[in-house]
Structure 1
């Protein structure tokens, strides 16, 4: 039986979001944004342990109470300068528990609306996959390529294009090796692709949004409120 573990890289500052407080600690419905990402992972029965990877000089984590997340959560202050470095450091921290064939789910700290249904679908659909994969949604909007003056240079065909989300789920050994050999990608799937493999796309939906700008907080709050009403 293989195990499932999760890593949440949270050492960044969220420069596009703005403000003095890192994006992951901005309040969403009274709690830090990152709380909801961690809660979704800790709640999933198949996930045995969750490592949150923070910057070495993080001063905000200890200002909040995380005890409600339970025993699965482990905190490591070993974040790197990039997402790939933080994930790689998290994988090293997980070496005390994970075997090469175990699954690792890497999830964004700023993607708070992850549902249990999406998590279950990811784990179920990839259970026997030789590579692993990620949650994603087909691109629905028309895509425009801009020139240097921010005018439309051309319209890009959207056929076959998907928008990557997280979690992204790969075997511990495979992901560790891929990130060591190909650290320049913007997500874990990029490293796997650079290693010559083809991750599987598992269909999610737009509610699993990533908070990038302040206006996204309100949208995330509305999604979370709707989820609570459904659960009730």
Structure 2
């Protein structure tokens, strides 16, 4: 069977296109992407009274810091979500603290089945923002835990790909809380009565954006 020159050219073009799509060049951030976003939980003074409000506040640009890289990464139309858990640490048994008294000023908040607060960031023209407060209604010593990522579903934001259809091995979003100070970490170590807590180093405490506080009558 004879193959025309036109057919050969078309086959060659198809082969080169397929080869190019398979061997796409990865971006500068590689297989593992670790980002940092500022999310303030709490305040400098960590003694509250019953009826006070614990605030969660974030307002950051669409160019997000990448750990280990001089360049920031731009995130547009990213469905940032975070889950905030408040644990009572002044008892021998870990217990999640939940109250329905939530003040939402920016973003959206829902209480999940585990008693945590799932919140979505509001995308603005220049960045992402959230602001909500949790009214503290019971005395005790508490510590927060946060889990961040992208809104669940089949869709994955382009940030999760190093090029075209190549999914990165890992994507981390660290929440940097300016109130996760060494003094606050020391309070956590002094007040925590829950055996086997996994946070043992200040670095882990800092990367988790944790905040420890006391509520008094």
> TM-score, with normalisation over the residues of structure 2?
0.29
Higher strand share: 2
Instruction: Look at both structures and tell me which one has the larger radius of gyration over its CA atoms.
Output: 2
Higher helix share: 1
> TM-score, with normalisation over the residues of structure 1?
0.27
The structure showing larger relative contact order (alpha-carbon pairs under 8 Å, at least 6 residues apart) is 2
